[in-house]
C-alpha cells in the first residue's frame, strides 16, 4: 500500500522556444526562454516553503534549470524516467503538422513513429511509480508536459491513452497524493496550478 504521507509535487518545466510554438520536444535539449526563467522563479515561494524528502528532475536542461530557479537545485537528483517522450521522427514537429499526413494522430494513443510507444511510456511511468511509492513525505518531480500527463493518468489507474485529457501549462504545479478517506485510493489533489492563476 502507498504510504499515506506521500505527496508528489509534479512540476512542468518553464517555457522554451518549442513549447511556445507547440513543437514536440523530447530529446532535444532546449534551454528556457527568458519568460520560462521568470515562470520558474515564480514557483520558488510555493516550493521552498515545503520540506521535501527528495527532489528528482529529468535529465533535460529545461527541467534542471526550472528546478534550480525554483530554489531546489541543491537537493536535486537526476531521474532518467522523468524525461519527456522520445518523439522519434516527429521531434520538433507540431501535432497539427503531423495530422496532415496522419489524420487524428495523438501520441497517447498512437505513439511516436521511430520513438516511444504508449506501452513504452506506460511501462516507464509504472516503473517510476513503483519506486516512488516506497518513499514518504513530499517528493518534488521536475518533468515535462506529456510525460507528466501520462504519469498522472497511471497514478490514478487510468490507461495511458487518457493522458491526453490532462493538459499542463509551462511551470505549473500539480499534486498527486493519497485520499485522506481511503488509504488505498490514489488521487490528483491539485492540477495545473500556476503562480498568478489562469491566463498568466
The angle subtended at Cα 126 by Cα 121 and Cα 128, nearest 5°, is 95
Q: Is 24 a catalytic residue?
A: no
Q: Is 13 a catalytic residue?
A: yes
Q: Which 8-state DSSP code applies to residue 200? A: -
Which residue out of 13, 37, 39, 91 is catalytically annotated? 13
The secondary structure element, H or E, covering residue 142 is strand 138-143
Which residue out of 79, 84, 116, 122 is catalytically annotated? 84
| C-alpha cell read off for 13 | 518545466
Measured CA to CA, the distance from residue 11 to residue 194 in angstroms comes to 10
Measured CA to CA, the distance from residue 34 to residue 17 in angstroms comes to 10
Distances (CA, A) of 56 to 1, 5, 20, 53, 138: 22, 18, 25, 10, 11
Q: Which 8-state DSSP code applies to residue 102? A: S
Where in the sequence numbering do the catalytic residues fall? 13, 84
Amino acid at each position: 500500500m502507498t504510504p499515506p504521507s506521500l505527496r508528489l509535487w509534479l512540476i512542468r518545466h518553464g517555457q522554451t522556444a518549442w513549447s511556445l510554438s507547440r513543437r514536440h520536444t523530447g530529446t532535444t535539449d532546449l534551454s528556457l526562454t527568458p519568460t520560462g526563467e521568470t515562470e520558474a522563479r515564480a514557483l520558488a515561494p510555493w516550493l521552498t516553503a515545503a520540506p521535501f524528502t527528495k527532489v528528482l528532475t529529468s535529465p533535460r536542461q529545461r527541467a534542471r534549470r526550472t528546478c534550480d530557479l525554483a530554489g531546489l537545485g541543491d537537493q536535486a537528483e537526476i531521474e532518467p524516467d522523468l524525461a519527456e517522450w522520445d518523439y522519434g521522427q516527429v521531434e520538433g514537429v507540431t501535432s497539427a503538422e503531423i495530422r496532415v499526413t496522419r489524420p487524428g494522430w495523438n501520441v497517447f494513443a498512437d505513439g511516436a513513429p521511430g520513438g516511444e510507444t504508449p506501452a513504452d511510456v506506460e511501462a516507464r511511468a509504472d516503473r517510476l511509480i513503483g519506486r516512488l511509492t516506497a518513499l514518504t513525505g513530499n517528493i518534488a518531480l521536475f518533468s515535462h508536459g506529456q510525460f507528466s500527463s501520462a504519469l498522472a493518468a497511471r497514478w490514478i489507474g487510468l490507461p495511458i491513452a487518457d493522458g491526453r485529457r490532462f493538459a499542463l501549462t509551462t511551470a505549473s504545479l500539480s499534486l498527486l497524493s493519497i485520499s485522506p478517506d481511503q488509504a488505498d485510493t490514489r488521487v490528483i489533489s491539485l492540477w495545473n496550478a500556476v503562480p498568478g492563476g489562469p491566463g498568466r
